[in-house]
Amino acid sequence: MTTIAFLGAGSVVFTRELLADILTFDELRGVTLALHDIDPERLETAEAIARRTAEQLGAKPTITTSLDRRTVLDGADFVINAIQVGMHAATVRDFEIPAKYGLRQTIGDTLGVGGIFRALRTFPVLAGIAADMRELCPDAWFLNYTNPMAMNIGYLAAIAPDLKAVGLCHSVYWTVRDLSDLLGVPYDEVDYTGAGVNHQAWLLRFEHRGENLYPRLDALLERDPELRRRVRMDMYKRLGWFPTETSEHSSEYLPWYLHDDAEIERLRIPVGDYLRISADNVTEYHETRRAVLAGEPLDVSRDATEYAPQVIHSITTGTLRRIHGNVANRGLISNLPEDYAVEVPCVVDALGVRPERVGALPAQCAALNRSFVNVGQLTVQAALTGDKRMVRQAAMVDPNTAATLSVDRIWELCDELTAAHGDLIPEALR
């Protein structure tokens, strides 16, 4: 029987949604769910959610838990990774310390100093997971949800190129869903292709029954001035291709917006928004724990299925699907660096996840992606070499950071963040 290991199962809301999706498939209703978290209370909560979800859906999975990662990895067929090293406290540091220097962030989990330091906290754990999987489940698929997605997949490609790893993110899917709703077109009738890097990919094809939908979007933007007051609508207007991540995310990957008060007002950019989201996640965890321990029913209704359950179902049953995944660039996008992570269409069936070659991106899209990739590559190299300067160099070439701070202030900021995160940062980089 198929065994699915959950790492970071204490991310209970996300775990609940994944479990509901998995157990909705008839062929997966009897799987083994092996849950792991380093926090005993969160692991207890995750187990209670798993059992309640199975009961409500009438499924009969085998559910096991362990505080020991190796126990749940032993013999796993799929490993879902949703860890957050340092949790909410580390997120607060990633926002509050840069804010003292005048550096604005919105989400801080992908690029910029927030993304760099989140990556440096995560890499050592990823290295341990990869080593354990090589020993205990070498044929398993590693399905990563942890951000910074591109940096994490790029790091794994460098240290464990044999690991069957794919990064899963809903940004392309939800972008097309939202645009379809905006244009009044049924999503199920839309054909699309996205490619680039995670959180900065581009809709290269966006069609309804053979009709290019971009002219419809152009017309809508022309007559709706409020719609134009969004970062990615502004990006689309200037670049000609629609980016596949929210305006909140996109604003901090570029040098154009966050340093300018007028642009923040014009485009309604919610500076520091992830602090609120992270705090809300903590509150939702406590409410979910209270509800499940009180015996209250869980909301297991879903209007969309996450990628990981689809991947597991396709590989297990041979059902053919096409998703967008994050994988090492091995000839997939010709004008982006090799081996670093790219986001491309992937075919999934009994043979696994097979990325499709895209070729060259539009020149302006590739140019922005390369500035995005530069930060990640230097961060990965910093971890691989133990060179502290590369951490600072990654921050120096980050578009938003470089547009806001002098190089001396960037180095001072990196020094302070390194000290604040303490043992969570690899010893060689402290």
Give 129-168 pLDDT, tens digit per residue. Answer: 999 999 999 999 999 999 999 999 999 999 999 999 999 9
Is 170 designated active site? yes
Residue 136 lies in a domain: yes
Residue 27: count of CB within 10 angstroms of its CB: 12
- Tokens 């950071």 identify what position? 401
Which structural domain range is residue 90 located in?
A: 3-167
Residue 26 lies in a domain: yes
Residue 247 lies in a domain: no
Residue 129 lies in a domain: yes
Residues in contact with 22: Cβ distance below 8 Å, sequence separation at least 6, in sequence order = 4, 28, 31, 33, 308, 309, 312
CA–CA gap between residue 196 and residue 214 (Å, rounded): 18
Sequential DSSP letters for 141-176: EEEE-PSSHHHHHHHHHHH-TTSEEEEE-SHHHHHH
CA–CA gap between residue 311 and residue 179 (Å, rounded): 24
Question: Which pLDDT belongs to residue 304?
Answer: 67
Q: Which residues belong to the annotated binding site for substrate? A: 147
CA–CA gap between residue 393 and residue 410 (Å, rounded): 9
CA–CA gap between residue 198 and residue 170 (Å, rounded): 10
Task: Report which of 391, 410, 311, 319 is spatially closest to residue 353, judged by C-alpha positions.
Answer: 311
Q: Up-side HSE of residue 405: CA atoms within 13 Å toward CB?
A: 26
Residue 309 lies in a domain: no
Q: Which residues of 167-194 are buried (b: 16+ CB within 10 A; e: fewer)?
A: bbbebbbebbeebbeeeebeeeebebbb
**Planar angle of CA 378, 384, 386, nearest 5 degrees:** 90
Q: Give the torsion through C-alpha atoms of 350, 358, 231, 82, to 10 deg.
A: 30
Kind and range of the H or E run holding 195 = strand 190-197
Q: Which residues belong to the annotated binding site for Mn(2+)? A: 169, 199
Cα torsion angle, 327, 329, 333, 335, sign: positive
Q: What's CA 132's distance to the chain center, in Å? A: 22
The domain total for the chain is 1
Q: What's CA 219's distance to the chain center, in Å? A: 32
* Catalytic residue (one of 170, 208, 313, 324): 170
CA–CA gap between residue 274 and residue 355 (Å, rounded): 31
**Residue 162 is part of a domain; what is its CATH number?**
3.40.50.720
Strand 352-355 relative to strand 341-349: parallel, antiparallel, unpaired?
antiparallel
3-state secondary structure of 190: strand
Q: Which residues belong to the annotated binding site? A: 147, 169, 199
Q: Is the pTM of this model over 0.85?
A: yes
3-state secondary structure of 419: helix
Residue 102 lies in a domain: yes
Q: Which residues of 121-135 are buried (b: 16+ CB within 10 A; e: fewer)?
A: bbbebbbebbebbee
3-state secondary structure of 135: helix
Query: Tens place of pLDDT for every residue, the chain, 430 residues?
Result: 899 999 998 787 788 889 999 999 999 999 999 999 999 999 999 999 999 999 999 999 999 999 999 999 999 999 999 999 998 899 999 999 999 999 999 999 999 999 999 999 999 999 999 999 999 999 999 999 999 999 999 999 999 999 999 999 999 999 999 999 999 999 999 999 999 999 999 999 999 999 999 999 999 999 999 999 999 999 999 999 999 999 999 999 999 999 999 999 999 999 988 888 888 888 888 888 898 888 888 888 776 678 999 999 999 999 999 999 999 999 999 999 998 999 999 999 999 999 999 999 999 999 999 999 999 999 999 999 999 999 999 999 999 999 999 999 999 999 999 999 999 999 999 9
